[in-house]
Amino acid sequence: MNFNFKKKFGQNFLKDQNILNNIAIKSEIDKETLVIEIGVGAAALTNKLCERAGFVLAYEIDKELTEIIADNLKGKDNVNVVFDDFLNRDLKEDVSKYNYKKIYVVANLPYYITTPIIEKIVNSNVNVERIVVMVQKEVGDRFNAKVGSKEYNSLTIFLNYYYEISKLMDVSRNCFIPAPNVDSIVVMMQKRDKQYDVKNEEIFFKLVRDSFKFKRKNLRNNLKDYDLDKILKVLNKYNMDLSVRAEKLTIDIFVEMSNSLSE
Ligand code: SAM
């Protein structure tokens, strides 16, 4: 391929046909699915998605890829490639042009903006039932980190609040061109049938963010402006007190703390 890869756009294209096929198969896409892909690259994954999906709505920031993409998607009539920065799009409006039973995101993400992309999807008010994304291994490990581990943070809680998260596969750096200097994993996030019983989401998310604000500080110090008596009452039920750090608290405990603050 005659193309100058741009590091600033996180351009590491997948060349391993097995991995590409596996992502498309394990995503369980069918003709009733609208698939959103962020980062088309040379359309290697887009092609596999088109074969299975009802329609593929894809985004690519780099207009220099226009011809390559057009060549590689020749004959495919169920795809629209939007050449724009995904982070600047109104996703709800883009998606409103299509009418499919299910909406999935399937993508090999540009790693430099993994978190903003995922936050945008989750906050978009679009009912994305499933997200299957290739991400840097360390970042993926954080998505479903166990409580108490050093990877466990506010993003873990944010994602697990909405989605059930599992790892689909490990992917070696050698499966890409050019090879990045990190390994990758493919993660699947499936929207929960039953949501957590949170009385006030704004209070819940603020509490989680503030609790993790300074990683080395305990709750007493991170939550100075809160009603600490109410928080302590919940912690005591779990044999903890305000000297605990946020990484020791499960989502259920955060839910209970935030509900007690919402009363
Ligand atoms: N899907 C292709 C593949 O698997 O080979 C390419 C994946 S590559 C890791 C990420 C792609 O995202 C690149 O083509 C890059 O140009 C594109 N990209 C980077 N930032 C973007 C943004 N803000 N909006 C849309 N696409 C972006």
Same domain? 48 vs 18: yes
| Residue 2: per-residue pLDDT | 77
Give dist(CA 228, CA 217) in Å, integer. Answer: 15
Whichever domain contains 74, its CATH number is 3.40.50.150
Across 67-181, the runs of DSSP E, i.e. the strands, are 79-83, 102-108, 130-136, 163-171, 176-177
- Indicate if 47 and 105 belong to the same structural domain: yes
Same domain, yes or no: 181 and 219: no
pLDDT of residue 43: 98
Residue 119 falls inside a structural domain: yes
Give the pLDDT mean for 148-169.
94
- pLDDT (mean) for 24-38: 98
Q: Which residue's C-alpha comes closest to atom 19 of ligand 1?
A: 9
Ligand 1 contact, 62 CB (< 6 A): yes
Q: Which domain holds residue 32?
A: 7-191
Same-domain pairing of 31 and 122: yes
Q: Indicate the number of domains in the chain.
A: 2
176 in contact with ligand 1, CB cutoff 6 A: no
Nearest CA to ligand 1 atom 14: 41
User: Does residue 249 form part of some domain?
Assistant: yes
Residue 108 Cβ contacting ligand 1 at under 6 Å: yes
| 47 in a structural domain | yes
Write down the pLDDT at residue 144.
87
C-alpha 13 – ligand 1 centre gap (Å): 8
Q: Ligand 1 center to residue 147 CA distance, Å?
A: 32
Atom of ligand 1 nearest to the CA of 117: 23
Indicate whether residue 133 lines ligand 1 (CB < 6 A). no
Distances (CA, A) of 38 to 1, 57, 163, 256: 21, 9, 19, 36
Query: Do 238 and 177 fall within a single domain?
Result: no
> Do 32 and 155 have their domain in common?
yes
Q: Are 181 and 211 in the same domain?
A: no
Q: Over the stretch 188-225, which tens digit does the pLDDT of each residue have?
A: 999 999 889 999 999 999 999 999 999 899 999 999 99
> Domain for residue 213, yes or no?
yes
Dihedrals φ, ψ of 59, to 5°? Answer: -125, 140
Residues 163, 219, single domain; the answer is no
- The secondary element (H helix, E strand) that includes residue 60 is strand 55-60
Same domain, 122 and 35: yes
CATH number of the domain that residue 239 is part of: 1.10.8.100
Pocket flag, ligand 1, residue 10 (CB < 6 Å):
yes
User: Per the domain annotation, does 1 fall within a domain?
Assistant: no
**Is the domain of 156 the same as that of 258?**
no
Q: Given the CA of residue 15, which atom of ligand 1 is nearest to it?
A: 5
Domain boundary, last residue among 162, 191, 220: 191
For ligand 1, is residue 110 a contact (CB within 6 Å)? yes
What residue owns the CA closest to ligand 1's atom 18?
Answer: 39
For residue 252, what are the contacts with CB-CB under 8 A and spacing of at least 6?
196
Domain co-membership, 119 together with 182? yes
Ligand 1 site, residue 9, Cβ cutoff 6 A: yes
Q: What is the pLDDT of residue 38?
A: 98
* Position 80 in a domain: yes
116 and 74 belong to one structural domain: yes
Q: 200: burial class by Cβ within 10 Å (0-12, 13-18, 19+)?
A: middle
How many angstroms separate the CA atoms of 234 and 257, rounded? Answer: 6
Is residue 123 situated within a structural domain? yes
pLDDT at 115 over 80: yes
Domain end among 191, 213, 245: 191
- Find out whether the beta carbon of 132 lies less than 6 Å from any atom of ligand 1: no
Instruction: Tell me if 196 is assigned to some domain.
Output: no
Q: For ligand 1, what atom is nearest to the CA of residue 62?
A: 16
